[in-house]
Structure formats: structure tokens, C-alpha cells
Amino acid sequence: MSLNSNAKVFSVAQFKSNLQIGILSSAATQPRGYSFVINKGGVWVDTTSFGSASINATGGGFNKMHVNQEINIASVTKAFTAIAVFQLIKTIGNGVTTKSKIGEWLPTYWNAKQVIKDITFEQLMTHSSGLTESNTSYDSLKATAARGLDNPAKPLDVYANINFALFRAMIPYMRDKAAATAKENAMLPGDVTGFENWLSQQYMDYMQVKVFTPIGLNNVTCSPAPNSAQAFSESNGVGLASATLNNWTNTCGGGGYFLSVMEMARVMAYLSNSYTLQDKDQRKLMDDNFMGWDNEDSPMTVAGQAYGKDGALWWDSNNSGVQDNGDAGLQTFVIKFPNAVELSLVINSIPGNYRSISNFVTNAYNNAWIKQ
């Protein structure tokens, strides 16, 4: 029997090299720092780190970027919040599915309009709810709930941070509706701030107990540590802009978790290669309907369908009102490919506009299949 001379195999080494080239050629400027982890079959197989993570506050200079460097993972948080939502829908049972309406799980004091109550879990997780708000504070959530839909036509995939930020308030009710209702009745109307703090802590407690602790990640929060990575600009011509990330506890859900790229890779490994976080049906439902994944970050590759999620943060460093080379920012990205390869990546600077991470990652993957 003759061998097929045209058969190709996936090369992790080639993928790594392609990624390095892709990152450095994705903009005219060089990133201040980046780091990525490649998994194969749920096990990390290669890593790369480059550049600076933060300014050294005591000795001057810069602290080096590394794979255990904590950073705000931005909207990659959405994919991880989706894990919790799928878990709780199964736990609730009683006919509740991703197509069920969310009204039963909204705080009563929001006085949400019926059109908000009629939004489904699936519509939130696919950004097809008709909501367009990007602000994720409790004041914004309450105002939006009382105002109604921004776009009643509910077009598909109109990205809005509020879709997943709502789960920060809903998960405590989904977890234990009687306890959350009792807490709301006991604390309101007198202590709105205290109750909203309680909601945030309940959301993060569920995420810790049911998403992070089962895979060996302890004390994961939405607040930065003293050594968390900063965000930078890239253009030397206008001076170095930097941004120190703040506490996202009361704005999280759609963003705001602080993890290292190695910890992101750990979540992806378990999500993709085990049933610790999701059962088989939940994984298929999440993937088939892109719930928690982004369509534009989930390419069809030479080996089949991939599923990805990006994140990005931007600081208007010079108050220009538009993104430019003087602004600090960061980008994050996770993706799982059909041959049990996963990538987790962070870049802690932006070259004016954001890099098209999905494009160069897809090209790096497709060009990593080489002849035997």
C-alpha cells in the first residue's frame, strides 16, 4: 500500500512561528507585550511571551510579559459567563431552556418592561436581543430594563456588552431564586447599593465555585492585583500612553475578569476536552448556536469549524474622541480548533485601531498544516 504523498499534518511548531509572524506583521507598530499558549488535546504544548507587561513602579523600567501574567481578559469573560448560564439552565430544569424568557430571573426593583422580560437566554448569548447598550453599570442595566428595547427588530448579532452584563444580576436568581428574592425584599428600598454589591458577589461566587474551582483556579476575581498587566499605546511618535486597569466587580459579566493567558488556556482546555464544565449536549448547543462565541471570530478552517471569542479595551488617552496611535488599549482572544488545538492570546497595546486577531490566527492555523 502506498502512502498518500499529499497528506498533511498539523505542526504546532509551524503554528507558533506563524503566530509570531502574524502578530508582528498585523500592524505597522510592534506590540508593547504579548503572550500566548497553545493547547493540544487539552494539554499545553507551547508558549511564547514578548515585551513588557507593566511599568515598574519602584525601580523604573518595565516588568516583562509572561504566561502567568494576570490581565483583564475583557470580553473573553462572556464565553466563560456562558458556561455558568448553561450549567444553571440545566440545574433549574422544569422546562427551562436557552429559548426560555429571562423575566423570571430579573430583579423586581428594576421594573423591567415586558419586552425586556420576553428576551430569551439565547438572544442574550447571541447578541440578538434588541439591546445595544455598552455601559454595564447597575444604573445602566436598570435604566435599560425600564426603557425597553433599543432595536425592537432584534437583528442578529448586534454586539452589546449589556447582553452578558445582565447575567451578573440574573445568575444569583437562577442560582437560588428564593434566597435572592428574600435578600432583595430585606435590603430594598433602603440599601440599593448594598444589594447590588451582593448581586455582584453572588455572581462571582458562582463563577468561582462552579467554573473556576473545579478546574483548579482559585481566587479568581474581577479586581486587579498590584502586578496586573497595564495597557499601552504603541506609537513612539506621540509618547507612551499607559492605563492601569481598575476594579470591575460591579460592572463585570460581559467583561472584567483578571486571568493570566495560562489560566485562560486552562479554561479552554477543560471546556473543549472534558465534561467537567459542560456536558456533551451543552457543548454542542453552545457551539452550534455560537452562544458565547463570536461569529466573526469563529472561522471555517481547512480542518473544519472553529469557535472563538475576542476581547478589547480602549482608553481615550488624549481625549480625542476617536481611537488613534496615542491611545492605550489591549486585546484578548481564545479559540478552539477542530483538531483539539486551542489558542489563548493577549496583547496589551493597540496600534490606533485594533488588530484583526481572528484573521492572522486563522491564517497561522491554516498554514500550519504541512506535508508529512
Q: What is the pLDDT of residues 217-265, one digit of tens each?
A: 999 999 999 999 999 999 765 578 999 999 999 999 999 999 999 999 9
Taking residues 201-230, report their average pLDDT.
Answer: 97
Calculate mean pLDDT across residues 24-40: 96
CB-based contact 34:50 (threshold 8 Å): yes
Number of neighbouring beta carbons within 10 Å of residue 56: 12
Q: What's the confidence (pLDDT) of residue 6?
A: 63
Phi, psi of 113 (to 5 degrees): -70, 155
- Decide if pLDDT at 5 tops 60: no
Report the C-alpha gap between 2 and 133 in whole angstroms: 60
pLDDT at residue 14 in the model? 98
Mean pLDDT estimate for the chain: 95
- How far apart are alpha carbons 73 and 255 in whole angstroms? 7
Query: What gap in Å lies between CA 84 and CA 66, rounded to an integer?
Result: 28
Of the ranges 187-191, 192-196, 300-304, 325-329, which one carries the lowest mean pLDDT score? 325-329
- Predicted local distance difference test score (pLDDT) of residue 282: 98
Q: With a cut of 70, say whether residue 310 has pLDDT above it.
A: yes
Helix (H) / strand (E) containing 80: helix 76-92
pLDDT per position as a tens digit, 118-156? 999 999 999 999 999 999 999 999 999 999 998 999 988
| Chain position carrying cell 490581565 | 71
pLDDT value at residue 340: 97
pTM of the complete model: 0.96
Residue 1: its pLDDT value, please? 34
Percent over 70 (pLDDT), the chain: 98
Helix (H/G/I), strand (E/B), else coil: 134: coil
- Mean pLDDT calculated for residue range 290-312: 98
Instruction: Tell me how crowded residue 86 is: count the other CB atoms within 10 A of its CB.
Output: 22
Does position 4 have pLDDT exceeding 50, yes or no?
Answer: no
Q: Is the pLDDT of residue 75 over 60?
A: yes
CB neighbour class for 344 (10 Å; exposed up to 12, middle 13-18, buried from 19): buried
% pLDDT > 90, the chain: 90
List the Cα angle 283/286/290 in 5-degree steps. Answer: 145
pLDDT at 3: 42
| Predicted local confidence at residue 26, as pLDDT | 95
* Predicted pLDDT at 7: 86
Asked if residue 346 has pLDDT above 90, the reply is yes
